[in-house]
Amino acid sequence: MLVGCMPLVLMVVFALVLQQRRSNWSQVVLKRVLPALSDQYSCEVSADAPSFHTDFVTGKMNVVDLPVKQPQITNIKSRYRPDETLHGNCSSHNSRPAANLTWIINGHLAKNSQLIRYPRIKEQHEKETSTLGLRFLVEPRHFTSGRLKIRCSASIGNLYWQSTEKSIEEEKPRPPQPATPSPTYGNDVLDKDFRDTNRRWPEMNKLPEEHQRSVDETMASNGAAAWAATAPWSLLALLLASR
Ligand SMILES: *[C@@H]1O[C@H](CO)[C@@H](O)[C@H](O)[C@H]1NC(C)=O
Ligand SMILES: *[C@@H]1O[C@H](CO)[C@@H](O)[C@H](O)[C@H]1NC(C)=O
Ligand SMILES: *[C@@H]1O[C@H](CO)[C@@H](O)[C@H](O)[C@H]1NC(C)=O
């Protein structure tokens, strides 16, 4: 009942990083994996006499370096006037591979025309920083109870999902001069308008279920590395046992 993992040299490495307490005949758990271990792996099973039947499966393992910090929102003020242009960035620093970024405005994915894509920046140890710009004209309808919420999320496959939210206040027009009538639009109208378009902001800190699970898994894998199985960034951790 021999189990062999290729490339052969890495068997030695496996022996060093194997967490025996958490490993058994159907899965291996490794500690302190390094990006250099990303490779294609095959595990082979051989039966004893009389059949000497052998079989093997192959899978790709990617070792992922997760960002240390949640995505950072920059150059966005805390107050905007309606009809002012909001223009800022979101960056996720130092991961391998680079994180995918998305912008969400009041609970809705930003349109392509509102995004500015920047090339990834290469960092040390083959890590990368991704940046996604957001630019749009702030309109009265964006504010509900005087607030506009923008959120940037960063993800790496199904192993990592983190987001940062910024709440922006509506800057009211200057107080009217004594003789001038007050502004023509009022909150009642805006709130109604807002409800009509059925915009709803998801509950704070409530990630989609799937993502929540991924974050947990990420923590379980020491926060630094994770395995991949069928698709890229999922996980192979598989040794086959003989019958
Ligand atoms: C191996 O360990 C995993 C996780 O602890 C468990 O789900 C699985 O059933 C175990 N398999 C065997 C063959 O013991
Ligand atoms: C956004 O980031 C890019 C790339 O780092 C930079 O060139 C650009 O000036 C930034 N824009 C803003 C509004 O911060
Ligand atoms: C980013 O998104 C693209 C398209 O959905 C996907 O192919 C790629 O694997 C993603 N990259 C990461 C690091 O999650």
Pocket test of ligand 1: the residue of 18, 20, 27, 240 to mutate, having most ligand atoms within 8 Å of its CB, is 27
Across 9-23, 80-94, 131-145, 221-235, least confident range: 221-235
Average pLDDT, the chain: 74
| Same domain? 15 vs 89 | no
User: Dihedral of the CA atoms 11, 13, 15, 19 (nearest 10)?
Assistant: -130
Atom of ligand 3 nearest to the CA of 95: 13
Atom of ligand 2 nearest to the CA of 121: 5
Contacts made by residues 204-209, CB under 8 angstroms, sequence distance 24+? 204/165, 207/161, 207/163
Report the pLDDT value the prediction gives residue 174, as an integer from 0 to 100: 75
| Omega prior to 181 cis, within 30 of 0 | no
Ligand nearest to the CA of 93: 2
Distance CA 106, CA 190 (A): 14
Across 107-111, 168-172, 220-224, least confident range: 220-224
Residue 58 has pLDDT above 80, yes or no: yes
Q: What's the CA-to-centroid distance between 100 and ligand 3, angstroms?
A: 6
Is 176 a member of any domain? no
Is 120 a member of any domain? yes
Is 186 a member of any domain? no
Report the pLDDT value the prediction gives residue 16, as an integer from 0 to 100: 56
CATH number of the domain where residue 79 is located: 2.60.40.10
| Same domain? 128 vs 79 | yes
| Same domain? 80 vs 49 | no
Going across the sheet that includes 54-61, the strands are: 2-6, 39-46, 54-61
| Same domain? 24 vs 113 | no
Is 189 a member of any domain? no
Number of structural domains (the chain) is 3
Q: Which domain holds residue 237?
A: 205-243
Task: Grade residue 13 by pLDDT with cuts at 50, 70 and 90.
Answer: low
Task: Please write the tens of the pLDDT for every residue from 189-205.
Answer: 333 333 333 333 344 44
Instruction: Kindly report whether the global pTM for this prediction surpasses the value 0.75.
Output: no
Q: Residues enclosing ligand 3, CB less than 6 A?
A: 97, 100, 155-157, 232
